[in-house]
């Protein structure tokens, strides 16, 4: 019996989430097969991270290491970062340029599509040693991924059952991606952090649209994001993909002050207020858009700070969050400087995002001894429909709807 089949989801459906989903080792292993290596699209990297022919970039699908390449003709490929010989990583460096890939361990070589092209000493030396004539050294080749792109984002899947990328995203999510990815991208930098929590806790956090004005006091103190601002949620038909957005203009704040919430503190100022100077580069007034694609992709526009995020699952309670900060190739110097200044809002030590790295860890520590207890996910009701409010957990319930479908729960 599989780990999923051995467990029963609560009768209340996605309005309740059992805490065993964050700490069951067998379930974690099953997720690797049924979700990450199953019929899902996993974000790999930006196309701009492969700027030239004969270049590569390492990535991951769940816990599986992956190599993404652009060959001599400019075609994109992705395959498992594993040698067919003894299983060593093929690419040790994060990125580079190469016409072929040679395993450092025994020098087996591969082309940029992941095909084995050479075996060192296959015929031995001076008539001795080597492989038998009927040997098939490529019997266990690196697994290859299907690759599709949208707006300069590269996604991969190991399953031939995964629907085309646009269908998987849904029309509104695809539109939201194209909105942000409006022009050719220029990578500005990046960083990563290790989260002491299960990967699903971070994805829940991303899809939780109403915690931001409570947890992130910087947001509300400087009127960057309050729930009183106009905004809403867009949720895909499957529930797995979502957009949370708000307009940049503040419509008030008395709700916070009257309720006595700590996030409404006044009397604070910035030594460098230019860090928050915002240009409406999209012409629609939206100052914040967080877009997610299940299982582990996030596209973020916070004012003029743009970034993609992806998760690498190193263990049940060990998840790497990789950030890549970008602008556009046609940005002028002032816009690039603005983006770099506003990048201080995000990342492991960001004025906003710092708490998002800590909160899932607090939950992990709290639920590890409460496997049979249920969390309550009823803010905004029990459904997963799109709404013109962010005071809801509809997209969290959407995530669990998608998760249950993939896992057979």
Q: Which CATH class is domain 183-407?
A: alpha beta
**Domain locations along the chain:** 48-147, 183-407
Quote the tokens at residue 235: 């949720």
pLDDT digit string (tens) for 93-128?
999 999 999 999 999 999 999 999 999 999 999 989
pLDDT for position 212: 67
- Whether omega for the bond prior to residue 35 falls within 30 degrees of 0, making it cis, is no
CATH architecture designation of domain 48-147: 3-layer Sandwich (2.102)
Sign of CA dihedral 174, 176, 178, 180: negative
pLDDT band at 389 (very low <50, low <70, confident <90, very high): confident
How far, in Å, CA of 305 to CA of 278, rounded? 10
pTM: 0.92
pLDDT for position 267: 65
Cα-based angle 273, 276, 277 (whole degrees, multiple of 5): 95
Quote the tokens at residue 192: 């990563």
The partner residues of 150 in beta bridges, in order of sequence, read 153
DSSP state letters, 264-275:
G--S---S-GGG
Phi, psi for 56 (deg, rounded to 5): -140, 160
pLDDT for position 226: 56
pLDDT for position 266: 60
Selected residue with higher pLDDT from 87 and 227: 87
Identify the weakest region by mean pLDDT among 44-48, 235-239, 266-270. Answer: 266-270
Q: Which one, of 308, 349, 351, lies nearest residue 149 by Cα?
A: 308
End-to-end CA distance of the chain: 13
pLDDT for position 255: 42
pLDDT for position 260: 40
pLDDT digit string (tens) for 213-261?
666 666 666 666 555 678 899 999 999 999 999 888 643 444 434 434 3
Q: Which one, of 123, 117, 187, lies nearest residue 336 by Cα?
A: 187
pLDDT for position 220: 64
pLDDT digit string (tens) for 152-184?
999 999 999 999 999 999 999 999 999 999 999
State yes or no: pLDDT of 205 exceeds 60.
yes
What is the helix (H) or strand (E) element at residue 42, kind and residue range?
Answer: strand 42-46
What is the helix (H) or strand (E) element at residue 336, kind and residue range?
Answer: helix 333-342
How far, in Å, CA of 41 to CA of 161, rounded? 11
Phi, psi for 342 (deg, rounded to 5): -75, -15
């Amino acid at each position: 019996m599989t780990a999923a089949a051995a467990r029963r989801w609560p009768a209340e459906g996605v309005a309740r989430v059992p805490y065993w989903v964050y700490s069951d080792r067998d379930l974690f292993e099953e997720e690797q097969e049924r979700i990450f290596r199953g019929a899902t699209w996993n974000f790999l990297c930006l196309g701009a991270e492969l700027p030239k022919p004969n270049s590569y970039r390492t990535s991951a699908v769940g816990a599986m290491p992956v190599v993404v390449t652009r060959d001599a003709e400019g075609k994109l490929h992705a395959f498992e970062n594993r040698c067919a010989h003894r299983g060593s990583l093929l690419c040790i460096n994060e990125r580079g340029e190469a016409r072929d890939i040679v395993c450092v361990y025994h020098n087996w070589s591969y082309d940029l599509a992941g095909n084995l092209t050479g075996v060192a000493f296959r015929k031995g030396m001076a008539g001795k040693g080597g492989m038998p004539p009927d040997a098939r050294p490529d019997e266990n080749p690196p697994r290859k991924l299907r690759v599709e792109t949208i707006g300069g984002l590269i996604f991969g899947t190991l399953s031939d059952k995964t629907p085309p990328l646009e269908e998987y995203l849904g029309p509104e999510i695809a539109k939201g991606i194209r909105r942000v990815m409006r022009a050719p991208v220029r990578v500005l930098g990046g960083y990563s952090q290790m989260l002491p929590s299960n990967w699903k806790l971070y994805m829940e956090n991303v899809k939780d649209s109403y915690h931001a004005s409570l947890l992130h006091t910087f947001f509300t103190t400087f009127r960057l994001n309050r729930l009183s601002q106009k905004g809403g949620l867009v949720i895909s038909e499957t529930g797995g993909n979502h957009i949370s957005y708000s307009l940049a203009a503040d419509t008030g704040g008395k709700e916070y002050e009257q309720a006595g919430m700590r996030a409404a503190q006044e009397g604070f100022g910035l030594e460098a207020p230019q860090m928050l100077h915002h240009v409406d580069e999209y012409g629609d007034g939206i100052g914040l858009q967080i877009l997610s694609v299940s299982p582990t992709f996030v596209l973020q526009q916070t004012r003029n700070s743009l970034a993609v995020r992806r998760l690498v699952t190193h263990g049940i309670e060990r998840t790497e969050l990789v950030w890549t900060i970008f602008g556009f190739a046609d940005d002028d110097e002032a816009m690039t400087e603005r983006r770099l200044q506003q990048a201080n809002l995000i990342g492991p030590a960001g004025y906003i995002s710092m708490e998002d790295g800590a909160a899932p860890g607090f939950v992990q520590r709290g639920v590890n001894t409460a496997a049979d207890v249920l969390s309550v996910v009823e803010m905004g009701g029990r459904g997963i429909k799109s709404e013109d409010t962010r005071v809801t957990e509809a997209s969290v319930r959407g995530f669990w709807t998608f998760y249950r479908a993939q896992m057979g729960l």
